[in-house]
A = this chain, B = another copy of it.
Amino acid sequence: MRLADLQTPCLVLDRAVLTRNIARMNARAKELGVTLRPHMKTAKSAEVARRVHGGAVGPITVSTLAEAEYFAKHGFTDMIYAVGISPDKLDRVAKLMADGVDLKILTDEIGVAQAIAERGKALGVKFRTLIEIETGGERAGVLPASPELDIIGKTLDEAGMLAGALAHAGHSYGADGISEIQEIAEDERAGVVAAAERLRAQGRKVEIVSVGSTPTALYGKHLAGVTEMRPGNFVFFDLFQTGIGSCAIGDVAVGVLTTITSHRTSRKQILLDAGALALSKDTGANRHMDAGFGLLRPATGALPDKPLAILDVHQEHGIASYARGLDQVDPFPYADYPVGGRLVVLPNHVCMTAAMYDRYYVVDSSKAGGSDEVVDVWDRVNGW
């Protein structure tokens, strides 16, 4: 099977780039002396998770219970569900634990910690719970020196259900440059370690001290006191990660294969069959570059010097022209973009884009002619 045989829009994954991205993050984890627990919220694929762990199962992070159930079916047993849990989800967690999955959960709420302890007791299950620590992101978590931390720690520890402390420096995505990422990484590390030390000083056992985010994992200076890191986006990267300096544009491993359906010569545009559903409406990368809803490269080549971008999307239509006004080629080189021709959209935010698809068509640019041959098809899990 070749790219030309695929129905568009669909996801294309370059195995060679994936392998390189994984090697880079494994080297970082080794250098920092922590376990790599990749966040599967991005790839949602057992094949990708196994590759991070050298072909075997290993520790992973999940963002939904649907992911936990999928990875359990694929033999993964060591997981953290890294989204604050609501009590109604505990029975589903207990079922996975009964099946032998060491599925750890997360909370930052006193009431939920109590509900976890009570439901665990009622079910005869020792839920393994991490406490979410806020280190500056203003999303979730208790502060490292807060009375809430002490109460949640006591509640969980006395029930035998305290497993550790976890922070996610999601605000690293808003950083301006690598030195700011390094500051945020240190806040993340220091905050979660302070919380763990405070709990230990109160006699609590804190086994896991976990940090996350692709930018902080790549640029943090050290991880003293931390046991593991949970980056996720790094397996694929995207235009946003390129913009904040996590990667080069050639490190983006996943794109959307699309077909040119029409020429809009009066407006120097082309129409594509990749629209809002195929790409998502995430435009985050435009903070860093004129990316529109994604930049266009040839189906089997690199991004050209003067790329087209998807400037507007409707549900199933993408409207593309030059990304930057200065790049205009006049007249528009329609011969390079024939109707029926194929392009690949480099996504703004791959976690959002990939979520619309149930599989990856895998190519391998390290093989001669490999970028055009579909060497494998990998599934992924969506939904909740």
Q: Summarize A's interface: helix, strand, loop or mixed.
A: loop
Which one of A65, A281, A352, A355 has the greatest number of beta carbons of chain B within 10 Å? A281
Q: List 28 A-B contacts (CB under 8 A).
A: A7-B88, A7-B92, A7-B384, A8-B86, A8-B384, A9-B384, A63-B315, A64-B316, A84-B261, A84-B262, A86-B259, A86-B260, A86-B261, A86-B339, A88-B259, A108-B262, A109-B261, A109-B339, A111-B339, A115-B340, A138-B267, A139-B314, A139-B319, A140-B262, A276-B282, A278-B384, A281-B282, A356-B382
Partner of A281, one of B85, B170, B352: B352
Q: Which residues of B contact A314 (CB under 8 A)?
A: 139, 170
Number of copies of this chain in the oligomer?
2
- Cα distance A363–B145 in the bound complex, in angstroms: 45
Residues of chain A from 57 to 78 with CB closer than 8 A to chain B in the complex = 63-65
Instruction: Say yes or no for A16: interface residue by CB 8 A criterion.
Output: no
A356 touches B383 (CB 8 A): yes
Give 8 A-B pairs besides A86-B261, A112-B261, A356-B383 with Cβ atoms closer than 8 angstroms. Answer: A84-B261, A88-B340, A109-B261, A109-B262, A139-B314, A276-B352, A277-B352, A278-B384
The answer to the question of A271 belonging to the interface, with a C-beta cut-off of 8 Å to chain B, is: yes
Instruction: Output the least CB separation between A4 and chain B (Å).
Output: 8
Binding site for B on A (CB under 8 A): 4, 7-10, 41, 63-65, 83-89, 92, 107-109, 111-112, 115, 138-140, 170, 259-264, 267, 271, 273, 276-278, 280-283, 314-317, 319, 339-340, 351-352, 355-358, 382-384
Residues of B within 8 A of A4 (CB): 88
Contacts of A85 in B (CB 8 A): 261
Q: Which residues of B contact A87 (CB under 8 A)?
A: 339-340
